[in-house]
Each structure stands twice: as C-alpha cells, then as structure tokens.
C-alpha cells in the first residue's frame, strides 16, 4: 500500500473527513454515470471503459449510498435551490448520461433494491433511431489502434455538427477506415421511449441530453434551439409528460461545455435543472441550470467512499 493510500485509509477509518464536513454548511453531491454493465470489458471496443461500471461494483456503491448517505432526487435538489432551503446532510443524487439500455435493464433495478431513484438523460436522436451515439461509433474505429490523440482530433470536427451533418461526417470517417460499427455480440444498445416511460412510472426522472450529443458551448443560438428546445419537444411528445431536467453532453471533454446562449436556451425551455460534468458540490447559491457533478468510474467501495467523503469535506 502506497503512502497516499495509507493516508486515505486512515482518514476514512477514523472518520476525520466526516467530522470536518459537519462543521460546513450542508451541500449536495450529484453523481455522474453512463453505462452499468455485466459485460463491461467485452463491450469496451464500443463504450470506453472510462464511462462504464461493472454491475456488481455499482450495486456495492448503491449499498454504501443507502447505508451511509442520504439519497435524494434532482427534484429534491431543485426544490431546495428554488426555495433556498438547506440540503439534507450528505445528500447524494444519482444521474446517468446518454440513455443506454443497461440503465433500464440493470442500473434501475439495482437502485430500486436500495430505495434509490435516479435521473437518466436521453440522447434524443440516438434513442429515437435506436442507434448508439456517434462517439461510440468513433471510439470503435480507433479502439484497436489505441490512438486517443487522433480519435480526439476527429471528434473535434463532430461536436459542432447536428444530426444530418454529423451522420455524414461519421460516415466519411468510417469510409476512411473501411469498416464501421455493426451489430455484434455483446453489443450495447439504447433504451426505448417505452422503457423510459416505464422508468418514470417507477419513480425515476427522465431528462434530455440534447438531440445530437454535441458540445453546446460551441454551437450557435440557432443550433442550440434545435439541440435543446426542439429536443425537449420531441422528448415530451414521446413520453407524454413534461421534461424538466437537462444534462449537457461533454464528448471527449471538448470545451466549452456551455455558453451564455446555451444557458438562455435552457431558461427559455423551462428546465428546473441542468447538470454539467464540471466537478464540484451543489450549494444553496449554485445556479440550478449549471449544476456540477462528481464523475464515478468503476470504483471500489473504498474509493467510492473517498470520493464522497472528500467532496463533502470541500476537497473536490
């Protein structure tokens, strides 16, 4: 065990961080997930290991969350921010980006086992077409070469495009490689709108993750209206209920993730909350349309606790 790990273990074991966090004003943490899978490694050519969690590890994380923290929903957080009410101590919300089918088949059932309800943000066009998001197709092309720099370079030409232009660009890149992502086993898939409607009935939140999964901070006001405003209209029509929560895509961590124009569009659309991938705590003064989150990977129980305890102690 390294010195750093020894210090972490000592701080967790003695409860020093937890005691210190009690001296601070109550805050909330929003956890960011993507895919929860029992075939994580087998699917890594399509969905990067960086954004997947083994189902058994996810269940261990939810067990810890239920026993040692205070699980809340995005509606709870929105209510506290709107009315300037204090958060419950150690409040934690669980969110998922993109809308992979494993969120329905695995993650939701695991959360419900521990009395937790999450927010799942759908990449609307990918769900509507029942095709994986463009970044999965791009990752598949570069997986064998393991050339992350080249992959990111190609991604930069994609994040500013909308669906028709984006499809053309990805097709062009696939032609350069002379192969493309096909239906293969084990192949991940997107949840359906019917499954999303069922999750709402089971107490989960369904939100929007734009139409095409581009970088909003790089889009024009006209593009943002389609990607945020029109995507919301499509989603509400498909689900038959108001959609009040939004998540900003951040493909390949290409910045800026948001802009003043995108903020105006989320306000115009009437969202109660909008979440980022920016790391941080939610405080009473935080803008509900610019909420930070904590990214959670395939963390062990100890690392999961460390992430949360250090966050509540103001160390994130």
Summarised one tens digit per residue, pLDDT across range 275-306 is: 999 999 999 999 999 999 999 999 999 999 99
Mode of pairing for the β-strands spanning 245-247 and 273-279: parallel
Percent of the chain predicted with pLDDT > 70: 96
The dihedral built from the CA positions of residue 308, 311, 312 and 315, taken in this order, carries a sign that is: positive
The answer to whether the CB of 72 falls within 8 A of the CB of 91 is yes
Q: pLDDT tier at 10 (50, 70, 90 boundaries)?
A: low
> Tens digits of per-residue pLDDT, 166-179?
999 999 999 988 88
CA distance 34 to 103: 8
pLDDT of amino acid 7: 67
Non-local CB neighbours of 142 within 8 Å, separated by 6+ positions: 148, 150, 151, 154
Q: Please, which pLDDT band fits residue 147 given cuts at 50, 70 and 90?
A: confident
240 pLDDT more than 80: yes
* pLDDT at residue 11 is higher than 80: no
Give the pLDDT band of residue 2 (cuts 50, 70, 90).
low
Domains of the chain, first to last:
25-312 (3.20.20.370)
- Percent of all residues in the chain with a pLDDT value above 90, rounded to a whole number: 84
**Residue 6: per-residue pLDDT:** 60
- Bridge-based pairing state of the strands 291-295 and 28-33: parallel
The residue with tokens 């939810």 is 62
How many helices and strands in the chain, by DSSP H and E? Answer: 15, 10
Cβ pair 269, 228 in contact under 8 A: yes
The owner of tokens 């901070």 is 217
pLDDT level of residue 76 (50, 70, 90 thresholds): very high
Q: Looking at residues 69-85, what average pLDDT do you find? A: 96
The answer, yes or no, to whether residue 1 has pLDDT greater than 80, is no
Q: What are φ and ψ of residue 208, in 5° steps? A: -100, 145
The predicted-structure confidence for 45-67, as pLDDT tens digits, reads as follows 999 999 999 999 999 999 999 99
What's the mean per-residue pLDDT of the chain?
93
Confidence of residue 104 (pLDDT cuts 50, 70, 90): very high
């Amino acid at each position: 065990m390294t010195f750093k790990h020894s210090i972490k273990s000592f701080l967790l074991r003695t409860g020093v961080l937890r005691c210190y966090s009690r001296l601070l004003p109550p805050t909330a943490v929003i956890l960011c997930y993507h895919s929860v899978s029992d075939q994580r490694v087998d699917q890594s050519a399509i969905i990067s290991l960086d954004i997947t969690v083994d189902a058994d590890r996810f269940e261990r994380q939810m067990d810890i969350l239920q026993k040692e923290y205070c699980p809340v929903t995005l509606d709870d957080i929105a209510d506290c921010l709107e009315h300037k009410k204090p958060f419950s101590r150690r409040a934690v919300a669980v969110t998922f980006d993109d809308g992979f089918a494993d969120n329905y088949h695995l993650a939701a059932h695991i959360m419900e086992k521990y009395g937790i309800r999450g927010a799942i943000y759908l990449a609307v066009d990918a769900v509507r077409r029942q095709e994986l998001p463009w970044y999965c197709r791009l990752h598949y092309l570069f997986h064998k070469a393991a050339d992350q720099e080249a992959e990111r370079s190609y991604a930069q030409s994609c994040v500013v495009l909308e669906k028709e232009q984006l499809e053309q660009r990805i097709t062009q890149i696939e032609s350069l490689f002379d192969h493309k992502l096909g239906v293969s086993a084990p192949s991940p898939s997107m949840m359906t709108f019917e499954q999303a409607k069922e999750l709402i009935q089971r107490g989960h939140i369904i939100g929007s993750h734009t139409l095409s999964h581009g970088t909003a901070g790089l889009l024009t006001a006209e593009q943002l209206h389609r990607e945020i405003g029109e995507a919301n209209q499509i989603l509400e029509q498909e689900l038959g209920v108001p959609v009040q929560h939004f998540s900003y895509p951040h493909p390949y961590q290409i910045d800026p993730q948001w802009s003043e124009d995108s903020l105006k569009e989320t306000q115009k659309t009437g969202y109660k909350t909008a979440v980022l991938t920016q790391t941080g705590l939610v405080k009473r003064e935080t803008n509900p349309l610019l909420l930070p989150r904590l990214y959670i990977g395939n963390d062990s129980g100890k690392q999961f606790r460390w992430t949360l305890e250090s966050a509540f102690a103001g160390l994130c």
